[in-house]
Structure 1
Amino acid sequence: MCPTTTHPTETSTRLPDASAPRPRTGAHILVDALIGQGVTRAFGVPGESYLDVLDALADTDVDFVVCRQESGAAMMAEACGKLTGRPGICFVTRGPGATNASAGIHIAQQDSTPMILFVGQIGRSMRGREAFQEVDYRAAFGPIAKWAVEIDEAARIPEIVARAFRVATQGRPGPVVIALPEDMLSEIATVPDAPAIEPAETWPGLTDMMRLQKMLWAAERPVVILGGSRWNAKAVASVVRFAERFDLPVAASFRRQMLFPADHPCYAGDVGLGINPELVARLKAADLVIVAGGRLGEVPSQGYSLYGIPDPGVPLVHVHADPEELGRVYQPTLAINASSGAFAAALEGVQPPNVIPWAGWREAARADYLGWSEQPPANPGPVQMATLVHWLRALPPETVVCNGAGNFATWVHRFHRFRAFGSQLAPTSGSMGYGFPAAIAAKRSRPGTPVVAVCGDGDFLMTGQELATAVQHDIPVVAVIVDNGMYGTIRMHQEREFPTRVYATTLTNPDFAAYARAFGAFGSTVERDEDFVPALDAALASGRPAIVHVKLDPEAITPVTTLTKLREASLAKRSVG
Structure 2
Amino acid sequence: MTVATAFKDAPATAPQSGARLLVSTLERLGVEVVFGYPGGAIMPVYDALTGSSLKHILVRHEQGAAFAADAWARATGKVGVCMATSGPGATNLITGIANAMMDSVPMVCITGNVSTAVMGTDAFQEIDILGVTLPIVKHSWIVRNPADVPAVIEEAFHVARSGRPGPVLVDLPKDVQVGMTADPYGFSIPNTTAELDWAAIAEAEALIRQAARPLLYVGGGVKIAGATEALRDLAGRTGIPVVSTLNALGSVRTDAHGYLGMLGMHGTRAANEAVQESDLLIVLGARFDDRATGKLNEFAPFARVVHFDVDPAEVGKLRATHVPVIGDLKAGIEALNPGPLAIQPWAERCTRNAATNAYRYDAPGEGVYAPALLNELSLQAGDSFVAACDVGQHQMWVAQHCAFTRPEAHLTSGGLGAMGYGLPAGMGAKLARPDAHVVTVSGDGSFMMNIQELATLRRYGIALKIVLLDNSSLGLVRQWQELFFEQNYSEVDLSDNPDFVVVAQAFGIEAFRVDARDQVSDGIARLLDARGPCLMHVLIDPKENVWPLVPPGKNNAEMMHGDSRFEGDM
**Structure 1 contact 108–175 (Cα < 8 Å) conserved:** yes
Letter in 2 for 1:440: M
**Counterpart amino acid of residue 417 in structure 1:** A
Query: Matched residue of 1:273: which SS?
Result: coil
Out of 347, 371, 388, which is 1:402 matched to?
388
Report the secondary structure of 2:221's partner residue: coil
Q: How many residues align?
A: 545
1:11-26 to 2 correspondence within 5 Å? Answer: 21-26=13-18
Shift of 1:245: 1.0
Task: Please show how residues 95-134 of structure 1 align to structure 2 within 5 Å.
Answer: 95-134=87-126
User: Residues 234-245 of structure 1: matches in 2 within 5 Å?
Assistant: 235-245=227-237
Aligned to 2:26: 34
Instruction: Show the 5 A alignment for 1:303-314.
Output: 303-307=295-299, 314=303
Q: Secondary structure at the match of 1:503?
A: coil
Partner of residue 464 from structure 2, selected from 477, 500, 506: 477
Q: Which amino acid aligns with 1:454?
A: V
Task: Specify whether residues 184 and 380 from structure 1 end up closer, same or farther in structure 2 by C-alpha distance, changes over 3 A only.
Answer: farther
User: Does 2:450 align with 1:463?
Assistant: yes
One of 275, 278, 284 as aligned partner of 2:276 = 284
Aligned to 1:366: 351
Alignment of 1:132-531 (within 5 A): 132-192=124-184, 194=186, 200-229=192-221, 231=223, 235-307=227-299, 314-347=303-336, 350-353=337-340, 356-376=341-361, 378=363, 382-392=367-377, 393-428=379-414, 429-507=416-494, 508-531=496-519
Task: Check the 8 A contact 2:276/2:302 in 1, yes or no.
Answer: no
Amino acid at match of 1:433: G
Q: Distance in 1 between matches of 2:244 and 2:282?
A: 12
CA 1:344/1:500 → structure 2, altered by over 3 Å: closer, same or farther?
A: closer
Task: Give the whole-Å Cα distance in 1 for the aligned partners of 2:230 and 2:561.
Answer: 44
Q: Supply the distance in 1 between the matched residues of 2:202 and 2:563 (Cα, whole angstroms).
A: 55
- SS of 2:388's equivalent in the other structure is strand
CA distance in 2, matches of 1:423, 1:272: 21
Question: Structure 1 residues 21, 334: closer, same or farther in 2, change over 3 A?
Answer: farther
Q: Contact between 2:514 and 2:520, CA under 8 Å: does it hold in 1?
A: yes
Aligned-pair CA distance for 1:237: 1.4
Task: Work out whether residues 113 and 229 of structure 1, in 8 Å CA contact, stay in contact via their aligned partners in 2.
Answer: no
Unpaired segments of 5 or more residues in structure 1?
1-16, 571-577
What is the distance in 2 between the residues matched to 1:280 and 1:173? 29
Normalised by the length of structure 2, the TM-score is 0.90
Using the TM superposition, give the Cα deviation of residue 20 of structure 1 relative to its aligned residue in structure 2, in angstroms: 5.3
**2:553 is matched with which residue?**
none
1:345 corresponds to which letter in structure 2?
E
User: Cα distance, 1:26 vs. partner?
Assistant: 0.3
Greater relative contact order (Cα < 8 A, sep 6+):
2
Deviates most, 61-70 or 538-547: 538-547
RMSD across aligned positions (CA): 2.5
The alpha-carbon deviation at position 400 of structure 1 amounts to 0.7
**What's the CA shift for 1:371?**
3.9
| Cα distance between partner residues in 2 of 1:470 and 1:386 | 27
Q: Deviations over 1:205-254 (max 9, x none)?
A: 22222222111111110001111336369621121111111111011112
Tell me the secondary structure at the aligned position of residue 299 of structure 1. Answer: helix
Is 2:533 the counterpart of 1:541? Answer: no
- Distance across 2 between alignment mates of 1:535 and 1:284: 41
Q: Aligned-pair distance for 1:111?
A: 0.3
What TM-score comes out, normalization by structure 1 length? 0.89
For the residue of structure 1 that corresponds to 2:283, the secondary structure is strand
Once the two structures are superposed, residues 172-228 of structure 1 have per-residue CA deviations (whole angstroms, 9 ceiling, x without a partner) of 111111111111100011234636859845453222222221111111100011113
How far did residue 568 of structure 1 move? Answer: 11
Report runs of 4+ in structure 1 exceeding 6 Å deviation: 565-570
Structure 2 matches for 1:41-120, cutoff 5 A?
41-120=33-112
Q: Which moves more between the two structures, 265-274 or 223-232? A: 223-232
Shift of 1:315: 1.5
- Kindly state the Cα deviation for residue 144 of structure 1 after the two structures are TM-superposed: 1.5
Q: Summarize the Cα distance change of 1:174–1:232 in structure 2 as closer, same or farther, 3 Å threshold.
A: closer
C-alpha distance in 2 between matches for 1:364 and 1:131: 67
SS in 1 for 2:265: coil
SS of 1:438 mapped into structure 2: helix
Matched residue type, 1:27? A
Q: Is the 8 A contact 1:255 1:272 kept in 2?
A: no
Structure 1 residue matching 2:420: 3-state secondary structure: coil
Q: Which string of whole-angstrom CA distances, capped at 9 and with x for unpartnered residues, describes residues 276-299 of structure 1?
A: 233222112111101111212211
CA displacement, residues 66-119 of structure 1 (integer Å, 9 cap, x when unaligned): 100111110011111222232210011111111111110111011011111111
- What are the Cα deviations for residues 3-34 of structure 1, in whole angstroms up to 9, with x where unaligned? xxxxxxxxxxxxxx976533210001111221
Change beyond 3 A, Cα 1:161–1:486: same
Stretch of structure 1 that moved more, 46-55 or 106-115: 46-55
Report the Cα offset of residue 492 of structure 1.
Answer: 1.6
Percentage identity across paired residues of the two chains: 30
Query: Which residue in 2 is equivalent to 1:13?
Result: none
* In structure 1, C-alpha distance between the alignment counterparts of 2:185 and 2:476, rounded to whole Å: 49
Q: Counterpart of 1:241 in structure 2: which amino acid?
A: D
Is contact 1:467-1:519 (8 Å) kept? Answer: yes
SS in 2 for 1:82: helix
* Counterpart Cα distance in 2 of 1:276 and 1:230: 21
Partner Cα distance (2:247, 2:350) in 1: 19
Question: Could you tell me whether the CA contact under 8 Å between 1:522 and 1:539 is conserved in 2?
Answer: no
- Cα distance change, pair 18–172 in 1 and its aligned pair in 2 (3 A): farther
